[in-house]
Amino acid sequence: MRENPNRTGLLRLKEEINIAERGKEILQDKIESLVVLFFEYVKERGERRKYVEDALMKVFRELVILESLIGTVSVKSDAFSVPEGSLKTGERKVMGIGLPEFLWERSKKGFQILNIPVKFDKTKLRFEEILEAVLKVGGIENSIQVLSKEIKETRKVVNSLENYVLPEFRSEKKWIELRLEELAREDLLRYKMIKRKLEISK
């Protein structure tokens, strides 16, 4: 690009440089915030995965005890029914970015196991809690992917501004300034020549 080598073009170019620099700063701040959020999600994913693993181990131990009380055949024949409920999907906005969420809306019936001791009621409820936790982990996984993509794309824009747009603007600004200085010298030289001619003609 080549702006007209005049003061108006120089002022316009300086304004464009200011806008580009400010935009770069805003995007860099955005990247920093997204990176913080990214690692918060990574940490939460690890914590929730551990919860799911620990909860499954506990539930399976309880099922082993249940089998010893009412027999394997009874447990299998009276196995957990498919949970009644519905999967809800949505998203929440963070810095204008839609992060996915998966929620399990429980039915009033929930899981049902027939002929089990009352003290194992918590076992069937725990399965629903595990399902909800797994869905939460799924939402976090997707959010991590969305954030990772957004960070990469924003960095590309920052790199473009930093390595291409701003250097080109600054080079153009320098060219206009040099050209204006050159024109000013030419004008001064012409003025001196005219002044000298006028003095000679007197």
Decide: 79 and 67 in contact? Cβ < 8 Å.
no
Please provide residue 95's backbone torsions phi and psi, each rounded to the nearest 5 degrees.
Answer: 55, 40
Q: Give the domain 7-201 fold.
A: Helix Hairpins (1.10.287)
**What is this structure's pTM?**
0.73
Single-letter amino acid code for the residue at 61: R
Kindly list the domain boundaries of the chain, sorted by start residue.
7-201
Q: Residue 105 and residue 93: Cα distance in Å, rounded?
A: 21
> CB-based contacts of 84: which residues, under 8 Å, 6+ apart?
107, 109, 110
- For the chain, 202 residues long, give each residue's pLDDT as a single digit of tens: 555 678 888 899 999 999 999 999 999 999 999 999 999 999 999 999 999 999 889 888 877 777 676 665 455 555 555 456 677 888 888 888 888 888 777 665 545 554 555 556 677 777 778 888 898 999 999 999 999 999 999 999 999 999 999 999 999 999 998 988 888 888 788 887 887 777 676 6
